[in-house]
């Protein structure tokens, strides 16, 4: 498969959660628009970073792509197949190609199961291996992620956070997927351990020719691991570009504000640069503002335009996509 071939295509993805009132008879009174019309693609072998503030819909996007949440609208094409149209056995078979590494290594591992059972469960579910073959496969996976192969009989509480996340990586790799959603896999770990997990993910990507959607809010980490970066705000992608385009020529006001908050390890440069401080709070996804979702906090908004018309998400050249009335 060519490196430039598109593995995943997302078109106008929506994930709305209904708001209801009443106990006996429930009335639909509105929706929480967690994901509100996302469109992007991920090429085979690349890492797309997805960044934004907490609550902007990043994790929901990852789960909706994998059909852990069934989307309210839109389409998700994986290797040409529309996942939103699949159900039952066809969807179960497709899940072997798509896996997820969860954010919390403490909550995502069953405390009543041994490491061998946790990592081996996907192999059993998908009828990949049984018996001795399964045990050998699990032990090899543990070695792959930097753990002792004889840890198979231990329980999650016997491991540190970093080791637990390595177990989570091994579980995701077990059935040989092509695409993995990394849902903030290092945010719950000590800084000293974060780099080890990032390096592990890069090693596994090279070894198994993986494609990642890497969700995070740490821009410096995303810059290190990603080929392209999408910036998300209140359920929408406001900018999507290559790593260098975004970090050296970010065009959207929200992107500029995020980048200005990233510390630079050079006192002379840090002292001279200007921080962009956003005022106000993020609006509720249950009642997003009209027009551009960012206009309530934007320092360069155009009154009468930004607060009325939703900007088009358009390519301004070299596959650099921006949704802003100020950018042409």
Q: Are 103 and 59 contacting, i.e. CB atoms less than 8 angstroms apart?
A: yes
Phi, psi of 321, deg, nearest 5: -100, 135
Rounded mean pLDDT, 101-108: 90
Inter-residue contact 286 to 33 (CB < 8 Å): yes
Q: What is the mean pLDDT of residues 44-55?
A: 93
Q: Which of 269, 240, 270, 244 is nearest to 254 (CA)?
A: 240
Provide the pLDDT for residue 260: 87
Band of pLDDT at residue 270, cut at 50, 70 and 90: low
Query: CA-CA distance, 201 to 46, in Å (whole number)?
Result: 12
- Beta carbons within 8 Å of 121's beta carbon, 6+ residues apart: 113, 171
Nearest to 289 by CA among 306, 303, 274, 276: 306
Residue 235 and residue 230: Cα distance in Å, rounded? 12
What is the distance between the alpha carbons of residues 262 and 219, in angstroms, rounded to a whole number?
7
- Which is nearest to 228 in space by CA: 101, 100, 321? 321
Count of positions (residues) in the chain = 328
pLDDT digit string, tens, across residues 112-160:
999 999 999 999 988 888 888 999 999 999 999 999 999 999 999 999 9
What span, in angstroms and rounded, lies between the C-alpha atoms of 208 and 202?
10
Q: What percent of the chain has pLDDT over 90?
A: 73
Is the separation of the CB atoms in 52 and 231 below 8 Å?
A: yes
Report percent pLDDT > 70 for the chain. 98
Place of tokens 């016997």: 158
Residue 105 has what pLDDT?
85
Residue with tokens 């967690």: 34
Mean pLDDT in the chain?
91
Give me the mean pLDDT over the 69-77 stretch. 95
Per residue in 287-300, pLDDT (tens digit) is 999 999 999 999 99
Closest CA to 173 of 199, 148, 209: 209
φ, ψ dihedrals at 8, nearest 5°: -130, 130
Lowest mean pLDDT among 4-18, 118-132, 271-285: 271-285
- pLDDT value, residue 2: 44
Residue 200 has pLDDT above 80, yes or no: yes
Residues 72-84 as b or e (16 or more Cβ within 10 Å = b): bebebbbbeeebb
Q: Residue 7's pLDDT band (boundaries 50, 70, 90)?
A: very high
Grouping H, G, I as helix, E, B as strand and the rest as coil, residue 3 is coil
For residue 26, the model assigns a pLDDT of 85
- pLDDT, greater one: 105 or 269: 105
- DSSP labels, 157-211: GGS-HHHHHHHHHHHHHTT--SEEEEESTTTTS-HHHHHHHHHHHHHHHHHHT-E
Cα–Cα dist 200/143, whole Å? 12
Confidence of residue 203 (pLDDT cuts 50, 70, 90): very high
* pLDDT for the residue numbered 37: 92
Q: What pLDDT digit, counting tens, does each position of 222-262 carry?
A: 999 999 999 999 999 999 999 999 999 999 999 999 988 87
- Residues 155/122, Cβ–Cβ less than 8 Å: no
Q: Which residue has the tokens 């797309």?
A: 48
pLDDT at residue 4 in the model? 67
């Amino acid at each position: 498969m060519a490196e430039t071939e598109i593995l995943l295509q997302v078109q106008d993805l929506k994930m709305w959660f209904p708001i209801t009132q009443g106990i006996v008879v429930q009335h639909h009174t509105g929706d929480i628009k967690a994901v509100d019309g996302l469109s992007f693609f991920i090429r085979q072998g690349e890492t797309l970073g997805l960044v934004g503030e907490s609550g902007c819909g990043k994790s929901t996007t990852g789960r909706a792509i994998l059909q852990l949440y069934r989307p309210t609208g839109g389409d998700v094409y994986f290797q040409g197949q529309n996942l939103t149209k699949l159900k039952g056995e066809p969807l179960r078979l497709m899940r072997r190609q798509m896996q997820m590494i969860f954010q919390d290594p403490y909550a995502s591992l069953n405390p009543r199961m041994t490491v061998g059972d946790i990592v081996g469960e996907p192999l059993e579910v998908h009828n990949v291996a049984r018996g001795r073959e399964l045990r050998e496969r699990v032990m090899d996976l543990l070695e792959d992620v930097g753990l002792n192969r004889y840890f198979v009989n231990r329980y999650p509480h016997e491991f540190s956070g970093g080791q637990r996340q390595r177990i989570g990586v091994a579980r995701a790799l077990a059935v040989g997927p092509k695409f993995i959603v990394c849902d903030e896999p290092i945010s719950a770990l000590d800084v000293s351990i974060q780099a080890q997990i990032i390096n592990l993910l890069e090693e596994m990507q090279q070894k198994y020719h993986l494609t990642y959607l890497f969700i995070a809010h740490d821009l410096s980490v995303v810059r290190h691991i990603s080929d392209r970066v999408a910036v998300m705000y209140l359920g929408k992608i406001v900018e999507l570009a290559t790593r260098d385009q975004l970090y050296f020529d970010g065009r959207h006001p929200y992107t500029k504000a995020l980048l200005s908050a990233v510390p630079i390890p050079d006192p002379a440069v840090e002292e001279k640069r200007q921080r962009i401080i956003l005022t106000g709070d993020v609006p509720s996804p249950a009642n997003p503002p009209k027009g551009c979702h960012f206009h309530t906090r934007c320092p360069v908004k155009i009154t009468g335009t930004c607060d009325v018309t939703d900007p088009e998400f358009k390519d301004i050249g070299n596959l650099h996509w921006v949704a802003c009335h100020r950018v042409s």
